Amino acid sequence: MKERVQETVDTARSHGAEYADARWVRQKTEELVVKNGALSLAEMGRTQGIGIRVLKNGAWGFASTDRMDKDNLNAAAARAVEVAEASSMVMNEPVELAREPAQRGSWATPFEINPFNVSREEKLNLLFNVEKALHVDERIKVGQAQLLFDEQKILFVSSEGAEIEQSVLASGGGITATAVDGNSIERRSYPNSAGGMHLGAGYEVVKEFDLQANADRIAGEAVDLLSAEQCPVGEKDIILDWSQQALQIHESCGHASELDRVLGMEANFAGRSFLTIEKLGDFKYGSEFVNLVADSTLERGLATRGWDDEGVGAQKWHVVENGQFIAYLTSRELASIEGNDRSRGCNRAEGWNRIPIIRIPNLGLAPGTWDLDDLIADTEDGIWMETNRSWSIDQMRLNFQFSTELGYEIKNGKRGKMLKGCTYQSRTPDFWAACDAVCNEKWWKPFGVMNCGKGEPGQVARMTHGSAPARFRKIRVGVSK
């Protein structure tokens, strides 16, 4: 395969490309979903193909194909050059790539148990048993248990001499119980919503989740929520759990700091960002307790790799340090805009058929000093919000409204009654400025996001947002009208 991929790069060069790279990706996916006692999805997916990216006349072209014979590959390389020539019809300055030494090497996600070697009987037994355990009450109308395993083998070759092989693995799953009573519907998920929790690891994570031990609790909470009090309307101190914190970081910091978005390259679809260029190094994004750290080397991170999809090595850096906004997420094309001579290595593609674009890496809230029990004890009038349920944010990443599956009232330092319909609404810099406490390393956990959408054509990316629970003062809650 290496020869064929190299030949494709050479073909693009022979058609006049000033730069060319090619990524061959072979992807294998296994997805199993048991719903209400029946297998509602059992699918083995395989896809492979090649994407060729070129610069001609200083403009980008990209073509992909899943037909791997020599004629088709050569035709795709020629098509990429033709597309780049068309791009150069409407351009300003020619694209200049930040320097990156041509890397040759390999990297693989560390894992203990290859999920594809675990028997299907074992996986299905787990799912059927766990799903059955969710039906603790006739009001549980939908029980669902699922597993997803995904492996990508990537070979990257560039005309600068890079030759990189990577094997990227994601494993995980989860359970969801939906309770319905009349006009009320409540859902609880474990370990996370939106299909469960996934990490850059093997089948061992499924064992660690211990879905069976949590099924009864989750289902019981879904039923209890039906008769729980509605989240009050007003201003409260809120403490976010890991799942909600992950969503909060993702939407209000991750996307806001993508440099392509800042420059207007996403304006038509995902939008722009309030973190405009003049704010770099000179903007108070949050309180002094807010440290947001990008880390493409994070253990078990879904975006952890040796290199990104243009051959830039994995890095770790602060996006926000002690509340100050100090860095963007960049690619080789845009690194110089930030004033750097090297990309931060954020250019990733969903698969062989997509051109790499700037994606959020693993991005976490650094631990603070609080013990969670002390933080709750220190809160007089607050709400604990747990497991993301819904999200919406404006196209500049300022005004947002998020909600969680479950809440608990906190009164005079003690956890009180269960609350449903927990929503909160704020403006990004105001919200992070209201952060006055972050729990310590003992409480810090990575949470994966599997469904980050961006780009046209649309691309789905994965990343991990680690955090510990944190408190935000006087936030508007209970907004549902």
Q: Which of residues 119-138 bind other proteins (CB under 8 A)?
A: 120-121, 124, 128
Among 16, 91, 371, 380, binds other proteins (CB under 8 A): 91
Cα separation, 397 vs 109, in Å, equals: 32
CB 234 to other proteins: min, Å = 14
Question: Is position 330 an interface residue for other proteins (rule: CB under 8 A)?
Answer: no
Cβ-contact 469, 365 below 8 angstroms: no
Residues between 185 and 204 with contacts to other proteins, criterion CB under 8 A: 185
Question: Is position 43 an interface residue for other proteins (rule: CB under 8 A)?
Answer: yes
Amino acid letter, residue 380: E
CB 207 to other proteins: min, Å = 20
Residue 12 belongs to what H/E stretch?
A: helix 2-14
Question: Is position 142 an interface residue for other proteins (rule: CB under 8 A)?
Answer: yes
Question: Is position 377 an interface residue for other proteins (rule: CB under 8 A)?
Answer: no
Question: Is position 8 an interface residue for other proteins (rule: CB under 8 A)?
Answer: no
- Closer to other proteins by CB, 63 or 327: give it: 63
Among 108, 396, 418, 434, binds other proteins (CB under 8 A): 396
Distance of CA 326 to the CA centre of its chain: 21
Among 354, 359, 462, 471, binds other proteins (CB under 8 A): 354
Among 3, 38, 117, 282, binds other proteins (CB under 8 A): 38
One-character DSSP codes across 70-139: HHHHHHHHHHHHHHHHHHTTS-SSPP-PPP-PPPEEEEE---SS-GGGS-HHHHHHHHHHHHHHT-SSTT
- Closer to other proteins by CB, 44 or 213: give it: 44
Residues between 244 and 263 with contacts to other proteins, criterion CB under 8 A: 260, 263
Q: Sort 182 into a burial class: Cβ within 10 Å, 0-12 / 13-18 / 19+.
A: exposed
CB 230 to other proteins: min, Å = 10
Residues between 430 and 469 with contacts to other proteins, criterion CB under 8 A: 453, 456-460
Amino acid letter, residue 41: L
3-class DSSP state of 227: coil
CA distances from 362 to 75, 79, 255, 461 (A): 36, 34, 12, 11
CB 387 to other proteins: min, Å = 15
Select from 9-17, 64-72, 147-155, 237-245 the region that touches other proteins (CB under 8 A). Answer: 64-72
Distance of CA 197 to the CA centre of its chain: 11
Question: Is position 180 an interface residue for other proteins (rule: CB under 8 A)?
Answer: yes
Comparing C-alpha atoms, which of 53, 20, 100, 22 is closest to residue 315? 100
Among 4, 13, 35, 411, binds other proteins (CB under 8 A): 35
Question: Is position 401 an interface residue for other proteins (rule: CB under 8 A)?
Answer: yes
Among 11, 178, 245, 404, binds other proteins (CB under 8 A): 178
- Closer to other proteins by CB, 400 or 444: give it: 400
3-state secondary structure 22-86: EEEEEEEEEEEEEECCEEEEEEEEEEEEEEEEEEECCEEEEEEECCCCHHHHHHHHHHHHHHHHH
Question: Is position 205 an interface residue for other proteins (rule: CB under 8 A)?
Answer: no
Residues between 269 and 288 with contacts to other proteins, criterion CB under 8 A: 269, 271, 274
Cα separation, 347 vs 91, in Å, equals: 21
Cα separation, 246 vs 249, in Å, equals: 5
Question: Is position 62 an interface residue for other proteins (rule: CB under 8 A)?
Answer: yes
Among 148, 265, 358, 376, binds other proteins (CB under 8 A): 265
CB 76 to other proteins: min, Å = 8
